[in-house]
């Protein structure tokens, strides 16, 4: 039996800014030379057409579809739907979610950073350019050795940073944090060299349930389904109940489990704190999620530093539910 297979690739992923051009690459397998093949597609929002039906006659086994996303005022989920016809019959149909964000995500007031020192550890210039464009003064270093003796107020470690040092960076980072520096480590697969907390590599799958702390400023305007689109590798912190940290996003585990695999974690240490952001992100310039995470982290750095008690202590301090005794009713059958 002849098998028809369509392979679909979104060149810049599923998260986009409004009015951005999206390109979909399609590869068709199983078509015979004498067969007539065509593709019908449309872009919809809540079953309403945003871009009306477009029909492509396929003369080769590959096709490229380009379209511009509409302007939106808030995060909006659109669907790109398609039907593949061979000799007038539908042989395959599906839909793909597109997450569209307004273009002004980063337009915030970051004036408070003018009086503070911010150091960026990065091997590329994407994050540095983003900070500069928003008026956030920063100094970029390609390694921790370039930070110098003067302690910065804030230290951001880019996800693109790769340490080539033969020594672990943990002692240097801890020294800075205990002295009062606030550190943010973004989705770095070399996290093992930057922390004493247990680390492991996990695969995030669309079917993998995540737990999410609601109403936390680090997660403002972010949503669980932003990360439940495709399978991705992620470096997690494996936290037990005794470790004095606060987990914000973690892989769901049995209620009695002593260990949590955390993807977003806060650790208070001495006069400072560390934010471990291990949820995978795309390019700083084109991924709206990455820019929203940056906005949230910069905002959170201005908040007071508070202790991060262990999960065990937090569980002990939770109000206990007191069950009322069920009243006993005495019934006298002789009355």
- What is the domain count for the chain? 2
**At 11, which CATH number?**
2.60.40.10
Q: What span, in angstroms and rounded, lies between the C-alpha atoms of 155 and 147?
A: 9
Q: What are the beta bridge partners of residue 234? A: 202
Asked if residue 45 belongs to a domain, the reply is yes
Q: What is the pLDDT of residue 166?
A: 62
Average pLDDT over residues 165-176: 85
Domain termination residue (choose one: 70, 101, 132): 101
**What's the predicted TM-score (pTM) here?**
0.85
Q: At residue 28, does pLDDT exceed 90?
A: no
Q: Which tens digit of pLDDT belongs to each residue from 62-88?
A: 888 889 999 999 999 999 999 988 888
Query: Which residue matches tokens 């940056």?
Result: 294
Most confident residue range from 30-39, 96-105, 269-278: 269-278
Asked if residue 335 belongs to a domain, the reply is no
Band of residue 195 on the pLDDT scale cut at 50, 70, 90 = very high
How would you label 94-104 residue by residue, b for 16+ Cβ within 10 Å and e otherwise?
A: eeeebbbbbee
Neighbours of 308 (CB within 10 A): 19
Asked if residue 264 belongs to a domain, the reply is yes
Domain that holds residue 49: 5-101
Asked if residue 77 belongs to a domain, the reply is yes
Are 61 and 138 part of one and the same domain?
Answer: no
Q: Which tens digit of pLDDT belongs to each residue from 196-239?
A: 999 999 988 887 788 999 899 999 989 888 887 777 889 999 99
Query: Which residues 6+ apart lie within 8 Å of 179 measured at CB?
Result: 151, 270, 271, 272
Asked if residue 291 belongs to a domain, the reply is yes
Asked if residue 328 belongs to a domain, the reply is no
Phi, psi of 164 (to 5 degrees): -105, 10
Are 297 and 191 part of one and the same domain?
Answer: yes
Are 233 and 184 part of one and the same domain?
Answer: yes
Asked if residue 330 belongs to a domain, the reply is no
Neighbours of 173 (CB within 10 A): 24
Asked if residue 25 belongs to a domain, the reply is yes
């Amino acid at each position: 039996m002849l098998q028809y297979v369509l392979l679909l690739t979104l060149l810049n992923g599923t998260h986009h800014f409004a009015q951005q051009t999206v390109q979909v690459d399609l590869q068709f397998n199983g078509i015979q030379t004498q067969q007539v093949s065509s593709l019908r597609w449309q872009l919809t929002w809540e079953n309403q057409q945003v871009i009306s039906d477009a029909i492509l006659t396929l003369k080769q086994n590959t096709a490229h579809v380009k379209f511009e996303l509409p302007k939106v005022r808030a995060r909006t989920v659109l669907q790109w739907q398609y039907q593949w016809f061979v000799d007038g019959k539908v042989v395959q149909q599906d839909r793909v979610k597109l997450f569209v964000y307004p273009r002004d995500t980063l337009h915030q007031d970051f004036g408070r950073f003018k009086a503070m020192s911010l150091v960026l550890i990065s091997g590329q210039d994407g994050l540095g350019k983003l900070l500069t464009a928003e008026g956030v003064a920063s100094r970029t270093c390609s390694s921790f050795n370039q930070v110098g003796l003067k302690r910065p107020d804030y230290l951001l470690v880019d996800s693109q940073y790769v340490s080539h040092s033969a020594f672990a960076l943990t002692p240097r980072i801890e020294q800075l944090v205990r002295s009062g520096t606030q550190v943010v480590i973004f989705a770095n697969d070399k996290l093992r060299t930057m922390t004493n907390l247990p680390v492991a590599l996990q695969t995030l799958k669309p079917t993998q349930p995540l737990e999410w702390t609601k109403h936390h400023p680090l997660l403002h305007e972010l949503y669980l389904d932003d990360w439940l689109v495709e399978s991705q590798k992620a470096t997690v912190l494996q936290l037990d109940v005794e470790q004095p940290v606060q987990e914000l996003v973690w892989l769901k585990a049995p209620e009695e489990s002593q260990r949590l695999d955390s993807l977003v974690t806060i650790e208070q240490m001495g006069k400072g704190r560390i934010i471990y952001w291990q949820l995978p992100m795309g390019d700083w310039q084109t991924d709206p999620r990455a820019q929203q995470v940056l906005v949230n982290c910069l905002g959170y750095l201005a908040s007071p530093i508070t202790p991060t008690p262990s999960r065990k202590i937090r569980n002990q301090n939770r109000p206990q539910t007191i069950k009322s005794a069920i009243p006993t009713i005495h019934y006298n059958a002789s009355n």
